[in-house]
Structure 1
Amino acid sequence: MKLFLDSFWRAAAYCLMPRVILLSLLPLALMVALGLGLGYFYWEPAVAWTHEALNGWPLLAGFWAWLQGLFSADVRDMLAPLVVVLALTPLVVLASLVVVAAFMAPALTRLVASRRFTSLELKKGASFVFSVARSLGLTALAVLALLVSMPLWLIPPLVLVLPPLIWGWLTFKVMAFDALAEHASAEERQTLMREHRLQLLAIGVLCGYLGAAPSIVWASGLLFAAAFFVLVPLAIWIYTVVFAFSALWFAHYALDALAQLRAARVALSLNGEPPPPAAALPSGDSNAPIPPAAP
């Protein structure tokens, strides 16, 4: 728990650094350009297709007739843009995660290492290409899980649980791996991700809830659909900042845990004891000596 909380406040403090703020704006520029391009060419067809789908669903015919008696305007004209926005939001989140994992996470991990763990050896346990391919594969699984779980979102408690859990699992799998890709060997990475699985998953789930919070707020009002092109860039930046914070949290936690793991193994070798099996290695709260780290 000490390592968990220590890495949290360090990640929050690093988010205020000018370099981190600038890095959070770079993916935003790419996403805004892509979003504006797709919106320019596909916004009206997507809204029209959604409107036709709502009209063509016979199970909702009575519901639309009931709503028509309550409102003077056609509710489907307002609902179709909102449905498109809510459908795009998870895709924006997942695309932002891939961008952050591919470009921001390695840069932020190097920032943490250069400031706190200058003596930590780089063992290059995974290549950049493998990391990106792995991220894309896990993202595809997360998209599939989101699509399969969508019918369950109609149950009020589950819409607040399932998407953050899926995003949290994806964040844990992607960012914990990337945080250790350059510095840890394959064996060290597997050991740390196994021994610290619960803590790393908790970080991912908490970051998943942070990323889902804006969607819950926006879904409470129809104004978001009318201001789509104004609020989407802001939404992307919010998600990017959340993912930057996530990458920093994983970097601080994972590199500190790696330093403690290596220090424990060095201490055992100096005492003439054989290395313990992976299951017996100390966790992140170990009292074993660690290399000095800068604040």
Structure 2
Amino acid sequence: MRLLLDSFWRAVAYCLLPRVILLSLAPLVVMIALAAGLSYFYWDASVAWTRGALDAWPLLSTVWGWIGNIFSGDVTAFLAPLMVVFAVTPMIVVLSLLIVAALMSPALTRLVADRRFAGLEQKKGASMLWSIARSFGLTVLAMLALVVSMPLWLIPPLVLVLPPLIWGWLTYRVMSFDALADHASAEERATLLRTHRLPLLAIGVLCGYLGAAPSIVWASGLLFAAAFFILIPLAIWIYTLVFAFSALWFAHYGLDALAQLRAQRTAAASSAPLLPADALDAERRLASSREIT
């Protein structure tokens, strides 16, 4: 419990660092760059195609004409740009978050390691390619679990439990692995993940519930179209900040647990009685050192 609370407050404090705040704003920068590039090359063609699709349906053409007579305007000319924006925004957001998430988690782990565990040896127990492949496979499993569990969401209590639990499991499996990938050996990582399974899962579930907060802002942006361009970037920033907090929490917990594990093993090795063969080797080393001196 001490390690859980200590890592929590440290993660909260690290979220106030200018470097972390700048990292949390990175998806907005990437999203603006992607939107500007796509708008420059494809905006006119996309709007023209969407407007043509709206006018091509006879039933909808009648509806557009009826609405246009009421408001004295071209309805499709107004709806086509909005439909393009609503269709492209989720893809831009997801791509931006994936790009930043791939870069943010290692950067935040290095930040924690440099500030708190500079003397902790890096044993490189997992490669980046293996970490990416593992994260992709776990994400696919989580998406399948979400799809399979959707019928259960009709039961009111379960809709508040199952999605955060699934996302919490995914967060726990991915971020705990990434937090230890550089510093722990494969054996140390397996030991820590087995020993601290419940606290790490609790961190993941809590972060899963925190990750649901931006969805409220996102839904508000969809309901209030006038505030779409304000609420959606706000939701993206909150989501990225939650992701940064999650990565920091797992990094503080995982590296602190690793440091304690190594300290315990060192203390146990130094206090363990020497076996006869070990004692003989120690005497030989002592004798050789005396001969040299």
Same fold (TM over 0.5): yes
**Structure 2 residue 4 is matched with structure 1 residue 7:** no
Distance in 2, matches of 1:208 and 1:236, equals 15
- Larger relative CO (CA 8 A, sep 6+): 1 or 2? 1
Change in CA separation of 1:259 and 1:243 when aligned onto 2, cut-off 3 Å = same
Change in CA separation of 1:99 and 1:273 when aligned onto 2, cut-off 3 Å = farther
Distance in 2, matches of 1:148 and 1:92, equals 25
**Structure 2 residue 19 is matched with structure 1 residue 19:** yes
Could you tell me which residue of structure 1 aligns to residue 68 of structure 2?
A: none
User: Counterpart of 1:237 in structure 2: which amino acid?
Assistant: W
Distance in 1, matches of 2:32 and 2:240, equals 12
Which has the higher Rg, Structure 1 or Structure 2? 2
Could you tell me which residue of structure 2 aligns to residue 167 of structure 1?
A: 167
**Alignment deviations for residues 117-173 of structure 1 (CA, whole Å, 9 cap, x no partner):** 111000000111211121122112222222222333233222221221111111111
Could you tell me which residue of structure 2 aligns to residue 142 of structure 1?
A: 142
Single out whichever of 146-155 and 117-126 deviates more from structure 2: 146-155
Uncovered stretches (5+) of structure 1, i.e. residues with no partner: 50-76, 275-295
Alignment of 1:30-179 (within 5 A): 30-34=30-34, 96=97, 98-179=98-179
TM-score by length of 1: 0.70
**Alignment deviations for residues 206-225 of structure 1 (CA, whole Å, 9 cap, x no partner):** 01101102324554786345
Alignment check: 8 A CA contact 1:218 1:224 kept: no
Alignment check: 8 A CA contact 2:126 2:181 kept: yes
TM-score by length of 2: 0.71
How many angstroms does 1:94 deviate by? 9.7
Could you tell me which residue of structure 1 aligns to residue 245 of structure 2?
A: 245
Q: Secondary structure at the match of 1:111?
A: helix
Distance in 1, matches of 2:38 and 2:193, equals 38
Distance in 1, matches of 2:128 and 2:47, equals 35
How many angstroms does 1:257 deviate by? 0.1
Change in CA separation of 1:166 and 1:38 when aligned onto 2, cut-off 3 Å = farther
Distance in 2, matches of 1:45 and 1:168, equals 41
User: Counterpart of 2:3 in structure 1: which amino acid?
Assistant: L
Change in CA separation of 1:177 and 1:127 when aligned onto 2, cut-off 3 Å = same
Could you tell me which residue of structure 1 aligns to residue 210 of structure 2?
A: 210
Change in CA separation of 1:179 and 1:43 when aligned onto 2, cut-off 3 Å = farther
Distance in 1, matches of 2:49 and 2:198, equals 44
Distance in 2, matches of 1:266 and 1:108, equals 28
Change in CA separation of 1:28 and 1:151 when aligned onto 2, cut-off 3 Å = farther
Q: Secondary structure at the match of 2:212?
A: helix
Change in CA separation of 1:197 and 1:225 when aligned onto 2, cut-off 3 Å = farther
User: Counterpart of 2:256 in structure 1: which amino acid?
Assistant: D
Distance in 1, matches of 2:143 and 2:266, equals 42
Could you tell me which residue of structure 2 aligns to residue 65 of structure 1?
A: none
**Structure 2 residue 268 is matched with structure 1 residue 268:** yes
State the identity as a percent: 73
Distance in 2, matches of 1:109 and 1:250, equals 9
Single out whichever of 156-165 and 233-242 deviates more from structure 2: 156-165
**Structure 2 residue 254 is matched with structure 1 residue 254:** yes
Distance in 1, matches of 2:171 and 2:133, equals 15
Distance in 2, matches of 1:150 and 1:143, equals 11
Could you tell me which residue of structure 2 aligns to residue 201 of structure 1?
A: 201
Alignment check: 8 A CA contact 1:122 1:184 kept: yes
Structure number with the higher helix fraction is 2
Change in CA separation of 1:109 and 1:43 when aligned onto 2, cut-off 3 Å = farther
Change in CA separation of 1:35 and 1:189 when aligned onto 2, cut-off 3 Å = farther
How many angstroms does 1:270 deviate by? 0.2
